[in-house]
């Protein structure tokens, strides 16, 4: 591993240290104050430190960076001190860390634990506004594989509807990968830069409404990218396809055939062992709550969805005692939807 320091202590204060990593500067006059206030001033002025700060927080769960800094510099939280004195103490501690007495290992580098704790404080203070390393090279970055992607869900977006998939929170895309992704990777879609939430076998990304609106306006299949700011490489990890809402398939298909279609008044048709008459109807799709209705009377109905068959018994012979034509219909009890089947004819004897 390589050692790197990001804070340069000089007689004028804390200065920029050139290179390709984290940068910050601090040269203005600050009056005497409690150490915590000085730490906050320093942390807020840091730039490009969000990645290291977040990594430190992930490795030090429930640890307060303020307290770590006080402990590392052997300072009391209750006693005011001059900013210049704190800077001098800070410089000594960083040298001590980098000599091997307090190293924070991150992405192939040995950093000062004290510097990393300041970066973590920056993240805690600024949240989503924390400063990331400059990334002007996303559009120019070469393409290459960063992760082996094994799955993505969901893959489609219906405009005006939340992004949804069973088992996932609303408006979240989840990716399955062959290994845990490093936390430094950045997700890009339609020019928006997003943090990833890594896990042992993948990562997820939360998309806010304004991003979903941009994707919907773009239409078609929108590319989803991961970007590695260290390797300056990007990989398309999937697409999100904008699609129209799927029509409700719970309704009726048109009946393909049916019978019997007529009888003589008072005589059973398609007679069953118990003497009841019976209808059969061939129809490819129908709701689960379908019943057969004869002239406004619901009949005992049997649904055989796998075979596209509906049968219904007519146990009451008085329904066919009077000659005429009677409507035969399918009724969805749940929605009230009706699908006409045909006219059943009762002939004169």
* Residue range 143-175, pLDDT digits in tens: 999 999 999 999 999 898 889 888 889 999 999
Is 69 a residue whose pLDDT tops 50? yes
Average pLDDT for 188-210: 90
Residue 194, in any domain of the structure: yes
Q: Do 99 and 57 belong together in one domain?
A: yes
Q: How far is CA 227 from CA 42, 133, 144, 178, 192, in A?
A: 29, 13, 10, 17, 12
Residue 225, in any domain of the structure: yes
pLDDT at residue 21, as a whole number:
38
Total tally of structural domains belonging to the chain = 3
Tell me whether residue 305 is exposed, middle or buried, using C-beta atoms within 10 angstroms of its C-beta: 0 to 12, 13 to 18, 19 or more. Answer: middle
CA 263 to chain centre: 61
Is 258 a residue whose pLDDT tops 70? yes
Q: Do 147 and 76 belong together in one domain?
A: no
Domain CATH for 315: 2.60.40.10
Residue 40, in any domain of the structure: yes
pLDDT at residue 238, as a whole number:
93
**314 neighbors 277 (Cβ within 8 angstroms):** yes
Residue 6, in any domain of the structure: yes
Q: Do 115 and 223 belong together in one domain?
A: no
Residue 251, in any domain of the structure: no
| Domain range enclosing 178 | 142-242
User: Which of 101, 129, 157 is the endpoint of a domain?
Assistant: 129
User: Which of 242, 273, 302 is the endpoint of a domain?
Assistant: 242
Which strands, in side-by-side order, build the sheet including 172-177? Answer: 149-153, 172-177, 202-206, 197-199
């Amino acid at each position: 591993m390589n050692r790197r320091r990001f804070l340069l202590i000089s007689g004028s204060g804390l200065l920029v240290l050139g290179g390709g990593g984290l940068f910050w500067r601090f040269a203005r006059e600050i009056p005497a104050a409690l150490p915590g206030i000085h730490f906050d001033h320093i942390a807020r002025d840091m730039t490009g430190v969000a990645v290291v700060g977040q990594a430190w927080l992930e490795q030090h769960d429930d640890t307060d960076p303020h307290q770590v800094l006080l402990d590392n510099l052997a300072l009391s939280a209750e006693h005011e001190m001059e900013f210049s004195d704190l800077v001098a103490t800070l410089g000594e501690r960083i040298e001590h860390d980098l000599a091997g007495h307090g190293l924070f290992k991150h992405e192939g580098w040995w950093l000062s634990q004290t510097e990393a704790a300041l970066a973590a404080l920056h993240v805690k203070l600024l949240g989503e506004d924390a400063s990331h390393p400059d990334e002007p090279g996303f559009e120019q970055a070469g393409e290459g594989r960063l992760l082996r992607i094994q799955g993505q869900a969901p893959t489609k977006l219906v405009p005006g509807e939340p992004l949804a998939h069973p088992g996932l929170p609303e408006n979240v895309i989840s990716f399955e990968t062959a290994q845990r992704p490093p936390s430094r990777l950045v997700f890009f879609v339609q020019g928006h830069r997003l943090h990833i939430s890594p896990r042992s076998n993948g990562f997820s990304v939360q998309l806010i409404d304004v991003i979903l609106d941009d994707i919907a306006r773009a239409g078609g299949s929108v590319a989803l990218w991961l970007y590695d700011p260290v390797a300056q490489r990007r990989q398309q990890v999937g697409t999100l396809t904008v699609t129209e809402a799927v029509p409700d398939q719970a309704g009726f298909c048109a009946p393909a055939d049916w019978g019997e279609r007529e009888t003589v008044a008072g005589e059973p048709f398609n007679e069953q062992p118990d003497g009841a008459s019976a209808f059969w109807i061939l129809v490819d799709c129908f709701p689960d709550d379908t019943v057969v209705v004869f002239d406004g009377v619901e009949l005992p109905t049997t649904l055989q969805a796998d075979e596209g068959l509906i049968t219904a018994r007519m146990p009451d012979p008085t329904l066919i005692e009077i000659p005429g034509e009677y409507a035969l219909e399918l009724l969805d009890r749940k929605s009230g939807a009706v699908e006409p089947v045909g006219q059943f004819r009762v002939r004169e004897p």
